[in-house]
A and B are shown apart, each in its own frame.
Chain A
Amino acid sequence: DTGVSQDPRHKITKRGQNVTFRCDPISEHNRLYWYRQTLGQGPEFLTYFQNEAQLEKSRLLSDRFSAERPKGSFSTLEIQRTEQGDSAMYLCASSLFLDRDYNEQFFGPGTRLTVL
């Protein structure tokens, strides 16, 4: 399968614990995005990378959240000291950005986080 993959698919944790999610984009894609999706809502942008550089972060991304893409390939999203409000589906997407004209994003299956 050459699509976007995410691991784990489900994570249950206790409040206050740290969690880390991984996203493997489509191999030739230079951009990688993280979104959060809560029940009944559309995905909300968190951050994106172009290669290894983190170019933009949403105000939704509090200090407890950190994302990395160290070699411009896979990315990790870490949430420290989880809170119940962090429970959501975390989606990763990747795209091949060549210029402003075309930026189709391909989504992974998501990681569903439940904070007890």
Chain B
Amino acid sequence: AQTVTQSQPEMSVQEAETVTLSCTYDTSESNYYLFWYKQPPSRQMILVIRQEAYKQQNATENRFSVNFQKAAKSFSLKISDSQLGDTAMYFCASTPGNQFYFGTGTSLTVIP
């Protein structure tokens, strides 16, 4: 079975500071993709960043970067220079095949 675990139900960060959200996953596939999705309050989910498992280089998208540790099956999201608009639920997801498996989410609040 594929599982994605997010062990931090809630986090907060001061505006302009850096925060890291944790995610671990379990898969028997040799190649897969990992994603972080953001779900703002009452709004639809949008993709923040993705990582191909066969790439060793960590993905970066502006203020968002990941720390991908394949051997440890760890995929954390770092948000730098946090902004009020970053307040949202963040879901980690893996797609070892045709399905997406999501974690339970981390609710991030950016404090002014």
Binding between chains A and B: yes
Q: Is B111 an interface residue (CB 8 A)?
A: no
Give Cα A107–Cα B101 distance, bound, in whole angstroms: 14
A106 CB contacts on chain B under 8 angstroms:
47
A-B contact pairs, 27 of them (CB 8 A): A3-B44, A33-B100, A35-B100, A40-B105, A42-B4, A42-B91, A42-B102, A42-B103, A42-B105, A43-B45, A43-B91, A43-B102, A45-B101, A48-B98, A48-B99, A55-B98, A56-B98, A58-B99, A91-B45, A101-B52, A103-B95, A103-B98, A105-B100, A107-B44, A107-B46, A108-B44, A109-B44
Are the CB atoms of A45 and B99 closer together than 8 Å? yes
Q: Is A104 an interface residue (CB 8 A)?
A: yes
| Interface residue from B33, B43, B104 paired with A40 (Cβ < 8 Å) | B104
Residue of A nearest to B92 (CB): A42
Residues of B whose CB lies within 8 Å of any CB of A are 4, 31, 33, 35, 37, 43-47, 50, 52, 91, 93, 95, 98-105
Number of A-B contacts defined by CB within 8 Å: 50
A58 CB contacts on chain B under 8 angstroms:
99
Q: For B44, B93, B102, which residue has the most chain A Cβ atoms within 10 angstroms?
A: B44
Say which size band chain A's interface belongs to: 20 to 34
Q: A48-B99, A105-B47, A109-B43 are known; give 8 further A-B pairs, CB within 8 A.
A: A40-B105, A41-B104, A41-B105, A43-B91, A45-B101, A55-B98, A58-B99, A91-B45
